[in-house]
Structures are given as C-alpha cells and as structure tokens.
Chain A
Amino acid sequence: MTVKSYYKVGRRPWEWRLKPDGRSERRRTRPPGTRRHWLKWRDVHNPKSLRRERVLVDKMPLWWTLGLVSVALVTPFLPNSLISVVSIFCIYASINVLWTLIVGTAGIFSLATLAVVGAAGYVAAAANVYLGVPWPFMLLIGPATGFVFGAILAAPSTRLDGLYYALLTIGVAEICRVFVLQLRALTPTSGAITQVDSFIPEAWFLQRPGLLLGFAGAFLLLLGALLLWRLVNSERLGMLLRVARSSREDEAFAEAIGIDFRRARLTVFVISSAALGVVGAFYAMYYRSISPQIFSLDQLLLLFAMMVIGGLGRAEGAVVGAAIVTIIDKGLVTLGPPRIILIAAIMIGVTIFAREGLTGARAQFRDYRKRKSGERRASRTEKGGEAMPEEATEVHDKQELYYRRFNKRLRERLKTLITPELIEEHRRDPLGHHSDDLARVLNFFRRGEMADKYVIHRMQPAEERFRVMAVSGVRGMPPRVVDDREYTDIKEAYHAVFLLRVNDLLES
C-alpha cells in the first residue's frame, strides 16, 4: 500500500496563526499615553476551514526583537576587541536610525548629521573638561546643543530643496571641522578634547568590565534611538508626513487638506537633532575624548554608505547597513585601504541593482516577479470569452477562469463541426439517432446556461402551434418571445431552436 503524501499549498503554508476562540470579543490594548497599537494584529477568516484566525500582518517587530536580543546575549561572551566593534556598531546604528528619521520620515536630505553629533559632543565635552560639569549633565547639555544646532540647520531647509540642501550641509560639516581645528585653545591636541569624564570609571577604561559597560550604554542608546524612531513614525507627526509624502507630486494638496507638512518636517528634524546631541555626548564619554575626525568627510561618507547599503529611509536598513559596514571596516582592519574600497564597491553595486538597498531587495524582487508573471499571463491568454489578465485578478473564484477557458476552447472546436450537412441532418430528424458530430454539438447546447436558453412554447389552447421563447434565467421573470413566427410542426420548432443556437455559437 502506498503512503499518500500531501503537500502544503498556498503562498504561506508555514505562517503561524493564532486561532482565537470564535465567541470571544476582540480585545486590543494600547500602550498608555499613545493612541496607536504597536503590533499589527489582524483578524481574518480562513476560507477553507471557515475559522477565525489572527495574523501578525507586520512581522518586523518580531525580527527586531530576535536580532536585538541575540546581539545582547552574544556580545558578553565575545573577546575584547569584538566587544568594542559591537559597541561602535551600536553607536553608528543609533546615529543612522536618527538620520533615517531625518532623511526618510522628514524627507530632508541632510548630510550634517555627524556635524550635529560632533558639535554636541564638543560642547558637552568642553563643559565637562573646562567648566567641571559632572558627566550625567553632559547627557543634558548634548541634546540642548543638538536642539539649537538643529534649529539653525533646519532654517534653510524650507527654502532650499533636495540635493541643494544636501550640498549645503556638506559645507556646514566642513565649516565645523575647520572651526574646531582653528581653535587656539585646542591647538596642542590638534583640535581634540581629551580627559573627558565618563560613565565608565577611569580604572575600567579599555578593560573588560569597562568595555562591557560601554557596550551596555551603546546598546541602550540604540534601543532609545529605535524607540524614538518608532514613536515619531507611529504617532500623529509621522502620519502627517506619510500623507504629505504620498502626495509628493502635489504638496499643495497636503497643505490644502490642512497638513502643515513644513512644520512637521522641521519638528522631526529638530527632535532627531536633539537625539543626535545625546549620541554626541555619549560618543565623547565612550571614547573619553572627541577629535575633529568626527567632522571629516570620510567619516560622513562611511555612515552614508551604511545607510545606502541597508536602504535609505528605513530603520532596519540603517541597522543592517551599519552591521555590514562596521564588520568590514573595524573587523577587517588588517586589510588596510582595500576594505574601504570593498565598502565602496558594495555601495555602488547595491545602488546600481537595488532600488532601496538590501532591505528593500525583497519587495523589489516581489515586484519583479509579479511583473514577470503578469507578462507571462498576458502572453498566454487569448481574447474571446476568456478572462483578460486584468479581469482575472479581479475574479475571486479562480475555477471560473478555467471554466471560461475550457468553454472557449470547446466552442472553437464545435464551430469547426458545423457544416451544411450537419444542419441538414438535424432538419431531417431533430430527435433521431444522430451522428457523432451532431451529438456533440447538441450536448453542448443542452449544457448551456439557463439565462437566455431557448425553449419551445406550445400555445394555448392545446393545439399544434409553437413558438420559440428565451427564458430569463431569473426566478419570477417570465420568458421573452424571441420572434413572432409560429410553427405548426414540433420538429420545425426544434430545428428553429437549433438554428438559433448554431447562430449564437458561430457569433460567439
């Protein structure tokens, strides 16, 4: 006896679905203080089992949790050099996530991100070293500086658009670098502020406990950046900007329906600048120093490469890109300059082939597959009774499509069978024993749909007078009279119906 094996069919056979009790009420809780739900649960009906199912439509939170938890669990067991690589990854990733907020959510193409980080870091470090402010206050001075700097930077963004603003911000970063290098007080250290106090005790600095503490701080920083990203995007501000962006061609439209998208953009810009200020202060504390290197074009380009490789404007892209670039840049230090060339090559390759970086590759592949299958379907289907591809996507019952195709092919074949001899054969003997061809044609006619099916009406009172009618196909609707010819012989009437049907078949 052979064992039958069943295959799971459908698009997502392994998708895990909750099966809630059909009688229970649907309860959805919201985090306090927010008006949105954080997980996108949707109730659906399974058309096969007719049961209620609950699906997590957006599975990104799942992947985020898995990824972040694995980073947090694995890192404490790594060697010292790798722990610092992971910490740097966390810092870069949080800068990138905040940058994504500016580029993606606010839609301002700013390249002055590192300038904000650096300026805040410098001010916080200077306050600590020269004014003796204790280190916890650096985490307040940083965002305050970032806020002010962001507000100054945001001002021209309303007047300049897109790439113009991007070029301008490169200039701003350069100004910062030159300005710091020119400061007379910092000349002995070539522009760097050293001996910054930190949350890592001095004795632990560059020791294993210090590195672990640094990693913990950097990880918290990344979590904070992601939380901010999520908050801004899921609350009203992000929604306004999404609406304004979906009507990008006509920003006047967004304004007309009452969205002050310029203001929303600037708000997001300033918020993320303040957050970048926190990162700047953290940066100065993590390294216990800060140098003009942070303003350099190379550093900026490295971070930009991360965003581009991962996917511009996506948080997951920012983090994935940061991981890839940090591994190549810091993990393969022994390679020397070729590692930067490798990063540049990846960046160029990704930009040429992927529309939205590596994390957008899946959606791009799906679009491509959809387009190709549409093209194939269009080339496969012919016209005439069959569903056109555009219509086919609308028809829910796919069996209908196959029935139509079958019907069309059948009609094509039967048309070739209709000959004067066949009609003559039917006229001679409508009810007799027929040839194979005629039997096939008549079988097709018998199976026809009820709507507009021809019938013979024996006229009242009962006598040999017949006429041809067509039934409506709708219960309660009387049949209509096809023509006013009357037949005195039932065989003649049979043949008249046959001729009408042949006519319909040949015309179809």
Chain B
Amino acid sequence: MDLGLVVYALNLASIYALMAVGISILWSSVGIINMAHGATFAIAGYAAWMTTGALQPVIAGAFGSGGMANVVMAMALCGSAVVAGALCGVVIYLLAFLPIHDKPNFPVRALIITLGLNIAAVQGLLWIFGPRSQGLPKIFGFGRWEVLGTRIRYDQAGTIIGAVIVMGLTLAWLRYSRRGLEIRAMMQNSEGAAYSGISRQITALPVLMLTGALAGMAAALLSQTIFVSPTAGVIPLVKGLTIALLGGLGSVAGAVIGAILVGFLEAIVGAIPFLGQRYVLFATFMFIIAVLIVRPRGIGGLLDDTRE
C-alpha cells in the first residue's frame, strides 16, 4: 500500500470521524438521533460561503494577498462554519429537545422532528440558493508536498491536521472542563447524572451546540475538496450515522475507530481496479451490516467487552 492511499484514507476518515463523533455524543448524552446533522453540515457550508464572499474584498484590502490574508480567510471560513453549526444546534435544541424531552416516546419523536428539520433546511437552501454548487476559497492553497516519493495535496493534509486538532480540542474539553465532566456523566448514565444534580435541560444545549459545531467544522474542511450544495449533507449524514452505528452509537472511541476503518476500506476498495469507485458505498454498507450482524453493539461493544 502506498502512502498516497493512506493519506486519502485518513482524509476520508477525519471527515467521517467529525460527523460520527458528533452523532455519537449526542445520542448517548441527550438521546437524540440527529437526522438534521446533514442539514447542519449544508447550512454551515453556505454560511462559510456567504461570509467569505462578503469578507473577501475586506481581507484583500487589509492584508493584500500574502500568507497573512490566507490565515485570516481560513479563520473567517472555519469560524463562520462553526458558529453557523452551533446556531443550528440551538435551533435543534429549541424544537427537537426542549418541548418534548419529558414526553412519552421521546427518542422516536426527536428523530422525526430532526428529520423534518432536515427536509425543511435542505428545501429552504434549494429555494434560496438554487441547486447550483458553490466553491469556497481554498484556504490551504493549491499544491503538493513531496513526502517519501508520494505527493500529498495541501487540502488533504490540511483536512487531516485540522480534524485532528478539532477532535483533540473537543476531547480535551470533554475530559478536563466542568461542563465536559457533566456531559460525560450524562453519556455514562443519564439517570444517575440527574440524581447527582446535573440538569438534562441545561446540559443538552452545549452538547447540541458542540455537535453542531463539529458538523460545521466538517463542512468547512470538506469544502476544500468538494463543492457546497443544498444536498451536500445527505452523504455525510448517512455515512456519519452508519459509522456511528458501527462504532456502537455512544462510544467516542468506537466512532473514531469506525471512521478510520471505513476510510481505509473506501480508499482500498476505490483503488482495487475491478471494483473501483462505483462500488465504494456498496462495500462500505455491506461491511457495516456484516459487522453489526456479528456484533450488534458495534466496535464500542467490543471495547466494553475487552475493558471488562
């Protein structure tokens, strides 16, 4: 296996991990399967597109076109995508969590409401912006590095590094902050957390904002490789959901491992000549279904078993 394939696999894995970890955290702590994750992804992409479009002349005026302008542009892009994602999280909190979190049948109803939000958001974007794809400015620039005889594109490297940094920050926040402690308590046992004085209503808001921000970050990073369009969220949503499922739906480590596995699987299947790109999705789903039939609780269940 050559290095280019590894980089490509890691590139895919980092995007998938950002989506799957968000879905996983949300499910285990709040109990919502967030079908609006794809809509969050698309909205964040459009927000970044609009912000950078508006700021382009300003930044060009202030910093010229050197490296500094590129850095500022990257910050504007990622910042706007993250903020838009977090705002989407607030909307989901207000519609899909707050009115029904203590009503019967909450998980299914939350799933339905987020589905409705997803449909509405995608159609709204179609209505406002039209079906045409939009390209975002390339914050990592065009070009390649020569490493060990293989060429690595800047955007691939940037995506991998960015995703690793964001994931690291998220996990560190979950690990070391007070709020993170509360969220982890809710992930372990939400009733127990409620008994020890952790309010589900108050904690759910930062969780939703965090996962929204992760989806926004994924959108910002993926926009370096593909274009932004109203339906851009569907594939990341479906993949994120199935990878979260593969990871055991609720285990962060499982989701990350699942994402890496699926990333490599896709890269390898894509590289095999007689299969090729057209069977990538097929192979991925087959793999996930096979794993789930053997281990219904996914990789997370496997991790729990080894820990015990």
Contacts and interface: CB of A to CB of B under 8 A. Distances in A.
A171 B113 contact: no
Nearest to B295: A159
A160 B296 contact: yes
A167 B282 contact: no
Interface string A120-138: 0000000000000000000
* Interface residue SS majority, chain B: helix
Report, nearest first, the 4 A-B pairs whose CB atoms are least far apart: A344-B120, A337-B127, A347-B116, A348-B116
A351 interface: yes
Interface residues of A, number: 40
B289 A178 contact: no
A343 interface: yes
Interface stretch (A23-31, A67-75, A193-201, A301-309): A301-309
Contacts of A164: 245, 249, 292, 296
Interface stretch (B82-90, B95-103, B144-152): B95-103
Given A162-B107, A168-B245, A308-B112, 7 more contacts: A167-B242, A170-B238, A174-B285, A297-B238, A312-B108, A345-B120, A352-B95
Given A167-B242, A170-B241, A178-B282, A159 B296 contact: yes
Interface of A: 109, 155-156, 159-164, 166-168, 170-172, 174-175, 178-179, 182, 297-298, 301, 304-305, 308, 312, 336-338, 340-341, 343-345, 347-348, 351-352, 355
A312 B111 CA distance: 13
Nearest to A170: B238
A163 B119 CA distance: 19
Nearest to B104: A355
Nearest to A345: B120
Contact of B127 (A162, A168, A338): A338
A340 B123 contact: yes
A261 to B, nearest CB: 18
7 contacts: A164-B249, A166-B111, A304-B112, A304-B115, A344-B120, A347-B116, A348-B120
A166 to B, nearest CB: 8
Given A167-B245, A308-B112, A347-B112, A355 B119 contact: no
Contact of A156 (B116, B126, B293): B293
A155 B289 CA distance: 11
B157 interface: no
Nearest to A156: B293
Given A163-B107, A343-B119, A178 B249 contact: no
B127 A336 contact: yes
Nearest to A352: B99
A297 B104 contact: no
Contacts of A338: 123, 127
Nearest to A339: B123
Contacts of B95: 348, 352
B291 to A, nearest CB: 11
B76 interface: no
B141 interface: no
